[in-house]
Amino acid sequence: MIEKAGAVIDAHATHWASLYPDAPEAIRARIKNVVAKSTIIAQVELPEARAMPNGTKADTLTAMAEADGDLRHMVLLLTERSTSSGCVLSAFPFAAGAITHPVRIEHVASLGSGAEGQVRGRTEDGAELSFFDALFFKNGSDYQVGESYQFALSAFAYSLRPYGLRLVQGNDTIAPPDVLRRARSGASDDYDFRATVQHVYPMRLDSGTVYRMRVTVARSGQNMVDVALYAAEHVLPAGYRPKPGDEIAGRLWLQGYLVED
């Protein structure tokens, strides 16, 4: 029996709000429904038993999510193997559809309970990135600083708008360069961005349309850092629909996960 999700889900409230316009109570109801229908994707033995609200001791961290789809609901549970009882530890939106880059790790930080974490590193062309590791509970303890790993990178847009500013150089009018800049407020994986849309794929959720875009968020010479950017229609200006070639700007949450052989 899984106990009701509590305030732990609110730790990712801003991330859920990028995907759903629902009130927090409705989002919690969604998560509860997902747990009932999801698949166990990983189980990790806890280094030491942890107390649960029902008085039992959890010995396992269980991760559940949909078995397929670009956008999934990741739910982390504390569970006791012998009784199958458990409680929700955390839940966050997970973008399985992502774009892979080699990243050399410079710093790894665990968050909250230790089941979640952030990775800071550099891509091949030297772009520095800090992102939420969606599979940290499974892989975080194995990372080595200074080593390079293949990470699939994606982002959820908190806000997004068309960016129409042009620069004039001589007789030429050009678009400003793509930029990924650490947001002044928020966590280290929150960024202000300006990007060029390459491809757009609209997806339908029960709450509305979400646009998956391949965007360039940073470039150096001929090298580019592309991510899969997900933008729900409620974070877009009224009537705006992104299309290839658009220059856009806004704020995003950057996440990634280790691509295993």
| Domain final residue pick, 78, 95, 112 | 95
Question: Which secondary structure element, helix H or strand E, spans residue 238, and what is its range?
Answer: none
- pTM, two decimal places: 0.89
Burial of 234 (0-12, 13-18, 19+ CB in 10 A): middle
Are 222 and 99 a contacting pair, CB within 8 Å? no
| Domain final residue pick, 95, 130, 165 | 95
Quote the pLDDT of residue 63. 93
Quote the pLDDT of residue 5. 44
Cα separation, 167 vs 202, in Å, equals 31
Which residues, other chains included, contact 56 with Cβ-Cβ below 8 Å and sequence gap of 6+?
A: 80, 83, 85
Nearest to 255 by CA among 115, 142, 97, 65: 97
Cα separation, 89 vs 115, in Å, equals 9
Cα separation, 244 vs 247, in Å, equals 9
> 52 with 160, same domain?
no
71-80: strand order across its sheet = 39-51, 57-65, 71-80, 85-95
Question: Is 2 part of any domain?
Answer: no
Question: Is 1 part of any domain?
Answer: no
Are 148 and 103 a contacting pair, CB within 8 Å? yes
| Token code pair at residue 98 | 């992502």
Are 123 and 102 a contacting pair, CB within 8 Å? yes
> 74 with 128, same domain?
no
Instruction: Please give the C-alpha separations between residue 87 and each of 54, 68, 134, in angstroms, as whole numbers.
Output: 9, 24, 19
> 116 with 82, same domain?
no
Cα separation, 32 vs 130, in Å, equals 30
Cα 249 vs. chain centroid, distance in angstroms?
18
Are 118 and 109 a contacting pair, CB within 8 Å? yes
Strand locations in the chain (E): 39-51, 57-65, 71-80, 85-95, 99-111, 116-123, 128-133, 148-162, 167-169, 172-174, 179-182, 190-205, 208-220, 223-232, 247-258
- In tens, the pLDDT along 19-72 reads 998 877 888 887 777 777 888 999 998 888 888 877 788 899 999 998 888 999
> 90 with 130, same domain?
no
> 152 with 238, same domain?
yes
| Domain final residue pick, 46, 61, 95 | 95
Please give the full DSSP string across 107-163, using - where no structure is assigned.
EEEEETTTTEEEEEEEETT--EEEEEETTHHHHGGG--TT-EEEEEEEEEEEEEEE-
pLDDT tens across the length of the chain (261 residues): 444 444 556 779 899 999 998 877 888 887 777 777 888 999 998 888 888 877 788 899 999 998 888 999 999 999 888 777 788 888 999 999 999 999 999 999 988 778 899 999 998 878 889 999 999 999 999 999 999 999 999 999 999 999 865 554 555 555 566 778 888 888 899 999 988 899 999 999 877 899 999 988 766 555 678 899 999 999 999 999 999 989 899 999 999 999 986
| Token code pair at residue 154 | 């994606």
In the chain, the number of structural domains is: 2
Are 65 and 72 a contacting pair, CB within 8 Å? yes
> 129 with 254, same domain?
yes
Question: Is 109 part of any domain?
Answer: yes
Question: Is 253 part of any domain?
Answer: yes
> 116 with 67, same domain?
no
Domain encompassing residue 82: 7-95
